[in-house]
Structure 1
Amino acid sequence: MPSQQPQQSQASRTPARRRQRSTRLVVAVALLVVGAALVAGALASASTVLTAVAAVVAVLAGAAATRITHSELAQARRDAARDRAVQAQEYRALTERRTSENAAFAADMRRRIAEREDAIGVLEQALSSAQKNAAEQGIKRAQESRRADAAERGRDLAEQGRDEAESRAAEAIVLVAELEAEIDVVRAELDSLRAAAARRDHRSA
């Protein structure tokens, strides 16, 4: 990954820098040791010239060691600043990548949420239609039930009326038969009266 490559290159440069620093520090320490040894040898020889030369060499060695140490410290500070800058760039790149990933994740979540909300809206609409249809079917069922009850009551009334009509018809038939019988009796009596009247008229003539 891009963030790992700078870290690997930085890690590969760090041992080389440490070797250079250790070499320079060894040289500085060696100069100080040589200067101290020369001064000690000159003092041991009790020679003024050797002591002066050793002092000059020791001063030069100390100055060189100080210069090496100072340059090493400055280089260490520059390297540290460079490393911090590289780390800052890596962290910034990592932050940007994480930010883009979070933005992509948030966009995907918003898309999924929108899809779920659309699906919920469709399901709610279908549920509302189903509830409306169920209510209409319930109303129709109640109406049909009332109609069936009314039809059953009407059928009962019709059957009752038919029974009453049949009973009245039977009574009317009986009454007609009785009247016909009475008419026959009256006609027979009328015929008898006419016959008696005819016989009486015939006798009187």
Structure 2
Amino acid sequence: MNIIQLPLGPLETNCYVLANDLKEVLIFDPGEEAFEIFDVIEENQYKPLAILLTHAHFDHIGALDEVRDRYNIPVYLHENEKDFLADSTKNGSALFLRREVFAREADHLISKEGKMEIGNFTLSVFETPGHSPGSVSYYVKDAKSVFSGDALFCQGIGRTDLPGGDHDTLIKSIKSKLFSLPENTRVYSGHGPETSIQYEKKHNPFL
């Protein structure tokens, strides 16, 4: 599998394009600058299947409708944040931007952890709240990778001072869910460089 990291927008929020050998792709967190995502998809002749949101803060959803409309693909989001897409206070744009960010409702709401199959992809969904109430992480065993959103960063963790955030909940999520993954699992975070479970267990000062 091939993973392309695209830091997008003023906060350099990482959007990821995960491609398999059939050129099918999943798109994680299309935060802004839709044209950057289009370029990757079309230059490689990829076939988008779905958009997976780790959570629904404004910097992760800014290009959501543009991308889904161009490829006519569904959006997955945890049910605890089903109202965030249409609420600029909940998604944070009303608090941090001079403009409000909105998107249409998700096509599929995630209600529990477990396996998810999309095309030829098999993922495991982990509920990892704390940064936000509906934060999830997507583990792709075949790629030895987890897309952690803003739960776990390289030597950092997500902020917990936004609506619905809770520090103790986030620490529990990381230790009980993400740290249960194999140590060689690569961690693709919502911001910053990739890391690994092994490295974060040893070097993350918050954990």
Tell me the TM-score normalised to structure 2 length. 0.15
Structure holding more strand per residue: 2
- RCO greater where, 1 or 2, for CA within 8 Å and sep 6 or more? 1
Tell me the TM-score normalised to structure 1 length. 0.15
Structure holding more helix per residue: 1
